[in-house]
Chain A
Amino acid sequence: MVKRRLYKFLKRITPINPGEEIISLLLFFYFFLITLAFGVIKSLRDASYLDKLGPENLPIAYATAIIVGVVVAFHAKLQVKISRRILIIYTLVFSFLMCILFFLLFQTGWKWLPLAYWIWANLVVVLLITQFWITVNDVLNPREAKRMIGFFGSGGILGGIIGGILTGFLAKSNESYALLFIPSVFLMVCIFVVGAVFRWNERRLEEKMPGKEKTRKQKVTETKVGFHVCFDTVRKSSYLKLLALVVVITGIVSTFIDWQSKNIIANWPSIKENLTAFFGIFSAGMLVFAFLLQLLMTSNIIRRFGLGLALLVYPLILFFCSFGIAVWPVIFFAIVIKGADKSLSYSLNQSARELLYIPISPVVKYRAKVFIDMFLNRLAKGVGAGFLLLIFLLPPNLWIISVSIISAFFILVWIILNVKVSREYTNTVKKNLVLKWDRAESLIDRNIDRETTRLVFDLVESRTQSDDLFAMHLFDLIRQGKLTPEIRRFLGYVPENAKVTSVGALFDAQDAGLFFGGEEGLGEEELKKEVEEILSLDVYQQVIKNHFLRITTDVDGSETARMEAAKAIGFMKPDSPLVDKLTVFLDDKSPGVSRYAIESAAKLKLREHVTFMIKKLSDPKLCGDIEDALETYGNLIVGMLADHLGDETMELEVHRSLCSVLARIGTQEAADFFIWEMDEGKSDVETEIIDALHQICSKNPAIRFEEYSVHKKIREKIESYCRSYLEMDENKIVPTEGESAASKDKELEGILTNVFRLLGLVYPREDIDKAFQNIRTGTKNSIAYAIELLDNTLKKDTRDLLIPLIEDISEEEKKERCRTLLKWLKGFKDREDKSRSHH
């Protein structure tokens, strides 16, 4: 009951699913507590340093980032020895103790103590924040993380706000260092929250992955590696190297910005009197903004504009402000740049950057985060400080302008890297998905030579039929250069019931190949030439014409004789007078004879035989052979086939076969015809047409499809999906006999299949197929990756239409989305009609 209420309450704020309420709250509080603690620690860090050592010594403080990097390397070694849960708890206890220790040390008034405090404060933030994100990656899958990031991310910002406010108000007294008791309390509370998070995760593993799988999952989540392994992991991946570069540049730039803003702010007359209070309130103000941004806009910006653009907002603002400071170094730019840094870096930029880790496997992600977020991030700040120290070799009046110009340059590099990394992100998502199956046609085309297989089968079968038919098949193999040594060896076996006496006996020899190239002289090439020449002899035509007359008038018309004649015509030239007889054999009452005639028609490729064959397409005994034969005609008969497909008097089965043939021909003309037919929307074989288009697309990626028509059909299909879904759900349709919920499900799946097939025509086909196959048959994680891939591949309009239908959401929500989509589609149609009538 309480859980349900909690879910209902949280659902209003964040798009969580049932069962996620506890973990989202725990992560919210975990992040809240560490950022609250750090908010206080950090404000005290900046104020104490500027107060005691002044802004001129800031580069020294920045340079200490390298020390933090070294400690992180040590931390990476330490975590090999203990579990992640214990490590986090130890870190929290250590931070608590250090707060107390620094409170005591600050009483001494030692001048350089703020520097030591600076180092420790930076160490605390890097350890606690990175440990938090690693925990997120451990307990949530990518889609869960994406759903909840807005919520628990805002917890972190809220912690920063409250920390800032507390510091701002309480620091007015002279006992600023007493504030260190605040973080120490929150860090202690955090220990219990961390314990609860790990307990929740264990419970979930227990429920979802009993036995073996659980052990495996635990192994994965608790993989512990040393620092050098983390470094190697990043070094070997181009994507991680890009991410690392982004972090390095971000670190350098943030050091510059920090110095630019603090230098101007600390010297601004009205502020420098009470720096601690200013930084406290300013930080709190910016964090309120960041909190609202995170809670209300971050998810929307990422969803609406994609990760690529979300990653650009922050550096673009910094670029303009940095440029502004170079030109006019006033408090306005200093506050805006620091404000952008405070608000966007903790909200939009942080969320987008964390999402970049989603497509990486958990083990690699952990290693990458240790090296990039803990070590490189700190190191980059040190490098930034190094740059600052170099700049300080210039005259002081050039410092601000030099820092700002160099900063602008680094930001430009950062922008370019962000563009690259967001492109690489989609590729990395793709790598997580495998194409589970290929189209059967492509598979067969790749692996099987259908023509040879058929010939060999015919050859073997003809052994029991007639010598001559056997010889013809053998010659056919030779003619097509397909009488391989394997087939010769295979043919060496003669079954007991074989009728073959003369030619069959040739293969009784140990090496049948001798026959065609051996002592007797006639090689395969010569044999081909011989036969061709004989067939074109006038005297031959004269002799065989009489034979044909006899067999077709039933004087000597055995079925075998007709088969032989039908087969032999295929060896003749298309202009041979005997070829006229083929129509008689095509129309033969015996399917065996027709089959050979169809095969010969395929060799001759004469248009006059096409209509004969199309008429026979309804015969299941011949349908497959006719489809094969018609395919060999290629583009030559696309128009004829299209005309027949448009002929409403023909049977549905014939239309289906024609679709299959056109798909196998697969030329641009065939594709154009299908698109036209689909556009007309009258066809009884729409699903077959969409499948044929998909087949053409997979066979020949160079074929182009009319985008407008494809998108129009996609919209129609999605509309039909929504209607069917709502009808099914609202029971508007009373299932008739034979119609059940299962058949309705099947109908929905059919529509979705068509939508994806259509998408494959206008987007990278393999990516769409991968996504679809994983959505249909994948695990929860692979479905999440598939949706992520679509999210980054499809254009906004299509994405908004499709993703609501495939996301893992409650039925109620899906119904609501279907209604919204139907409204949108109606509006779109109205707008389109209006614009058409206007034109």
Chain B
Amino acid sequence: MKALILTLALVTASPALALDGLRATGDLGVVIERATGSVLIVDRSDRAAIGRIDGLGDLSHAALTYSPDERFAYVFGRDGGLTKIDILAQKIVKRIVQGGNSIGGAISDDGRLVAVSNYEPGGVKVFDAETLEQIADIPAGAKTIGLVDVPGRRFAWTTWETGEAFLADFSGPEMVVNKLGDVGKNPFDAVLTEDAHTYLIGLFGEKGVTAIDLWDEVPKPVRFLQDYGKTEDDLPVYKMPHLQGWAFTEGQYVLPAVGRHELLWVDSESLEEVARTPVHGQPVFIVEQPASPYVWVNFATPLNDTVQVVDSRTHEVVQTLTPGAAVLHMEFAPRGAEVWISARDDNTVAIYDTRTFERVGEIAAESPSGIFFTARAHRTGL
């Protein structure tokens, strides 16, 4: 029945394709449906789903990145699948299974190379963005995490078991891979600041955060926030925080405490902790609302029906919302007017006005997880 309603919604919600048959993609997006191996194509302006693509494999953990023209998305799935989809034609262009178990990927700044990080067999593989033909295979002997694109046809990543960071440079005729250094025990995720200046790595196996200055002639790991991280006495972590959401606002980094129901605020110059904010649960994503002083936070199971909004000036929670059961992800309209929130167990994507906090719309989706708007095509580090 739900499928029927969705089908009807899809039929009625595609007038934008009308008239001359032309269609732009600037207000489109993709929602991962994790249990069914499908994705929804959504229209941000119409607040509607306009299509669905099936057959993307195991999407229990999935990420995607966009081509520079915002027409194609590369979806990285748990089963090692790399699927290139055409969001205008709403179909799979090509799908390969390039590994046993992948965790994420990134596209080079020129849009020509797509890199995938793998848990199994580990390492990183790089593909031609047009054809998905393999260009490079860089074994690591470990699970890779925190793969980001770095300007100049480069990619950086980190290894979970061995705690090393690497930088691969594809700007010349031959690929050059350099080790950036040893970063600490069991790094769980890493992220690049928007100015591509600092590669930040969160550790699970020991205390501290590692920063690598990629503008430096000889980048090297620097440890800070020495008491950041999990200890035996801390609360259990039911879902690994994601650092792609680490927000950078008001000259601060905002980090999810690991094993504590807190946000940590760190001065991005001095790397000293400036404040802590008690929050509802173990933070998973902390995302800055564009063009505002606010960050939005969601939480790990079993406290995952709630989203909180925190003011980066006062470090205080200013709003608490309960968008639905099992909130997994939040994605902002590029200028911040709306936030789309996936509520997996309600099979809903809820849309909120970020000024009034009013629920202004919702879209039916099967076990939705990640929401990705096409504006991501133009952001570094994704």
Do A and B assemble together?
A: no
User: Taking beta carbons and an 8 Å cutoff, which residues of A are in contact with B?
Assistant: none
> Which residues of B does A touch, CB under 8 Å?
none
